[in-house]
Amino acid sequence: MFEQIPWLSIIILLPLVAAFAIPVLPDKDGKTVRLFSLGVGLADFVLMCYVFWKNYDASNSSFQLVEKYDWVPQIGFSWAVSVDGLSMPLVLLAGLVTTLSILASWQVDRKPRLFYFLMLLLYAAQIGVFVAQDVLLLFIMWELELVPVYLLVSIWGGQKRRYAATKFLLYTAAASIFILIAGLGMALYGGGQPTFDMVELGLKDYPLALELFLYAGLLIAFGVKLAIFPLHTWLPDAHGEASAPVSMILAGVLLKMGGYGLIRLNLGLLPDAHVYFAPVLAMLGVINIIYGAFSSFGQTNMKRRLAYSSVSHMGFVLLGIASFTDVGISGAMLQMLSHGLIAALLFFLAGVTYDRTHTLWMDEMGSIGKVMPKVFALFTAGAMASLALPGMSGFASELAVFVGVSTSDIYSSPFRTVTVFLAAVGLILTPIYLLSMLRQVFFEPGTAPTCDIEGKNLRLGEDEAVCFGTNCVLPMNAVYSDAKPREVFIAVCFLVLIVGIGFYPKLATQMYDTTTVAVNSQVRQSYTEIAQTNSYKFAQGILYPHMVESEVASIVE
């Protein structure tokens, strides 16, 4: 009986149906809605943990928990959902981050019904993207996710929230059209009954010219979401204006949709085209790492600095995807999971700091570490994880990517050397801008502006006022409190997983290694076939132009 239950459909529909119950809940001050939303998020997360624990086989690289129901059979569109090693870990990541984001938004008192309605709607859409086995269904879930994010930023964001929300919507909505175009191209190719099922699309033999066109379109669509340079400019604006809970989801989950799409569709369905595009991905990855790191130096807004840090870290995902090695693609997956936890933690703590200081400008802070030691300790732990301190998940993921790229037998030695060297430069820059942020925010004396409260000029440090930069309040209204138990709990939930994966990466890698090995095997097989018939003149000095029979045999094995 339990085997017949449509578990994945229930996991998607539970937060969606619950969201539409929020408008009719009896509630005056928002407390009931808040508890209800948290309960739904927690119940859905516990349910997905139980279902995967009982029904998911990590040694099986094929789709599992498959559910398929014809929706519009005339065009081959169906409600087809399933999980494998690529999607299952990201579903768990989305459930954890979104549930903790709901808990982090405990103080939202402006339109709480609408806020939590949108959070649950976003919860369902995220899960739908990761479990969709139908390209058209994936596109619909992808578009559905844009609406709540736009509203959450434009209503509960900062001063430039409408500009940031509109920019996010225009970038991501325009780029996502390429998912629809590529899906239609694959579904209609070959004649006969069209289908959007990923398994059936993967069995088709597309002409190389069509594959390259489809790959380029999908790269744009997923590149915007992954914040690939130069398609990244929406990200710092969105993070700079979004509230902390929304930033947690943006950095922790939504960026990962781009990496997931690249592996699922670009590598899984278009492996021949990936052989040609892989060097481009590697170059873009290096650009992301260097550009994101240097751009972080120029940011005085805390959240914008963290946003550019995310741009830099997503470069490692691109490098791993382009590596042609099992350990490299595994490292890309681990980097997505690791960064999802670390970025969500850092943006949450940035929101905790903002609640006390009422500013995000680092030059308006300073010396707050003395009055908020718990926040400082948690922030430091998150920064250490982000700069890849050994024993943290960031170290394990980035090390795997480096090993994957440096040991790749597909790229030439000069190309690998330059790529690894430039990526290492970005890795060195990361602790500099993160540690300087900690010093500036928590210990360096802030500016001493003149504040005007009730017509009286008061200066920083005087007993009559408490000032953080240009934000001054009377002593009775000052909030010097350190991290509260709820805030410590949220941060510790992330840190436990970050440290656990850092010391024992197999906690994460065992969930997807079988699938990533299968994907890489398919890509390497495509490279083997192409290398035997193509001189690779366009990539001389980057890819090995020819392969002797022994090299072909080793790759096939």
Report the alpha-carbon distance of residue 466 to residue 356 in Å, rounded.
11
- Pairing between β-strand 450-453 and β-strand 77-83 as defined by DSSP bridges: unpaired
- Pairing between β-strand 450-453 and β-strand 456-459 as defined by DSSP bridges: antiparallel
Instruction: Among 227-231, 288-292, 381-385, 547-551, name the one with the lowest average pLDDT.
Output: 547-551
Query: In the chain, count of helices (H) and strands (E)?
Result: 22, 6
Burial class of residue 42, CB neighbours in 10 A (0-12, 13-18, 19+): middle
Query: Three-state SS string across 93-149, please?
Result: HHHHHHHHHHHHCCCCCCCHHHHHHHHHHHHHHHHHHHHECEHHHHHHHHHHHHHHH
- CB distance 523 to 267 below 8 Å: yes
Q: In this model, does residue 466 exceed pLDDT 60?
A: no
Report the alpha-carbon distance of residue 503 to residue 375 in Å, rounded.
24
- Of all residues in the chain, what percent carry a pLDDT higher than 70? 88
When pLDDT is cut at 50, 70 and 90, the band that residue 480 belongs to is: low
* Cα four-point dihedral sign 26, 31, 33, 39: negative
Close Cβ partners of 512 (under 8 Å, ≥ 6 residues apart): 58, 85, 86, 88, 89, 330, 333
For position 542, what pLDDT does the model report?
Answer: 62
Identify whether 230 is preceded by a cis peptide bond (ω within 30 of 0): yes
* Greater model confidence, 77 or 543: 77
For position 550, what pLDDT does the model report?
Answer: 44
Q: What is the mean pLDDT of the chain?
A: 85
Report the alpha-carbon distance of residue 429 to residue 54 in Å, rounded.
43
Report the alpha-carbon distance of residue 365 to residue 303 in Å, rounded.
14
When pLDDT is cut at 50, 70 and 90, the band that residue 552 belongs to is: very low
Average pLDDT over residues 77-98: 93
29-75 pLDDT, tens digit each: 778 899 999 999 999 999 999 999 988 988 888 898 888 888 888 88
Helix, strand or coil, per DSSP, at residue 160: coil
160-177 pLDDT, tens digit each: 889 999 999 999 999 999
Instruction: Among 210-219, 350-359, 475-484, name the one with the lowest average pLDDT.
Output: 475-484
Q: In this model, does residue 511 exceed pLDDT 70?
A: yes
Q: Which helix (DSSP H) or strand (DSSP E) does residue 15 occupy?
A: helix 7-21
* Greater model confidence, 547 or 59: 59
- CB distance 542 to 415 below 8 Å: yes
Report the alpha-carbon distance of residue 27 to residue 176 in Å, rounded.
38
Place of tokens 């086995």: 133
244-275 pLDDT, tens digit each: 899 999 999 999 999 999 999 999 899 989 98
When pLDDT is cut at 50, 70 and 90, the band that residue 484 belongs to is: confident
When pLDDT is cut at 50, 70 and 90, the band that residue 112 belongs to is: confident
- CB distance 122 to 143 below 8 Å: no
When pLDDT is cut at 50, 70 and 90, the band that residue 2 belongs to is: low
Burial class of residue 298, CB neighbours in 10 A (0-12, 13-18, 19+): exposed
When pLDDT is cut at 50, 70 and 90, the band that residue 536 belongs to is: low
When pLDDT is cut at 50, 70 and 90, the band that residue 477 belongs to is: very low
**Phi, psi values for residue 154, rounded to 5°:** -75, -20
For position 195, what pLDDT does the model report?
Answer: 87
As beta bridge partners, residue 453 has 456
CA distances from 247 to 2, 157, 361, 511, 553 (A): 37, 10, 17, 27, 48
Average pLDDT over residues 293-311: 90
Neighbours of 418 (CB within 10 A): 15
* Greater model confidence, 444 or 351: 351
Contacts within 8 Å (CB) and 24+ apart, 151-155:
151/114, 151/118, 152/115, 152/118, 152/119, 152/122, 152/242, 152/243, 152/246, 153/238, 153/241, 153/242, 153/246, 155/110, 155/111, 155/114, 155/115
When pLDDT is cut at 50, 70 and 90, the band that residue 454 belongs to is: very low
Helix, strand or coil, per DSSP, at residue 447: coil
Q: Where are the alpha helices (DSSP H) in 227-368?
A: 234-241, 244-249, 255-261, 268-269, 271-297, 302-321, 326-357
pTM score of the predicted model: 0.89
- Of all residues in the chain, what percent carry a pLDDT higher than 90? 51
**Nearest Cα to Cα of residue 262 among 224, 218, 230, 319:** 218
Instruction: Among 206-220, 237-251, 419-433, 477-491, name the one with the lowest average pLDDT.
Output: 477-491
Chain centroid to CA 272: how far? Answer: 26
**Nearest Cα to Cα of residue 428 among 257, 297, 260:** 297
Neighbours of 500 (CB within 10 A): 13
What are the tokens at 392? 């943290």
For position 476, what pLDDT does the model report?
Answer: 41
When pLDDT is cut at 50, 70 and 90, the band that residue 240 belongs to is: confident
Chain centroid to CA 261: how far? Answer: 11
For position 1, what pLDDT does the model report?
Answer: 52
**Phi, psi values for residue 466, rounded to 5°:** -115, 120
The span from the first CA to the last CA of the chain, in angstroms, equals 41
Report the alpha-carbon distance of residue 37 to residue 40 in Å, rounded.
5
Q: In this model, does residue 465 exceed pLDDT 80?
A: no
Q: Where are the alpha helices (DSSP H) in 22-87?
A: 31-55
Q: Which helix (DSSP H) or strand (DSSP E) does residue 466 occupy?
A: strand 466-468
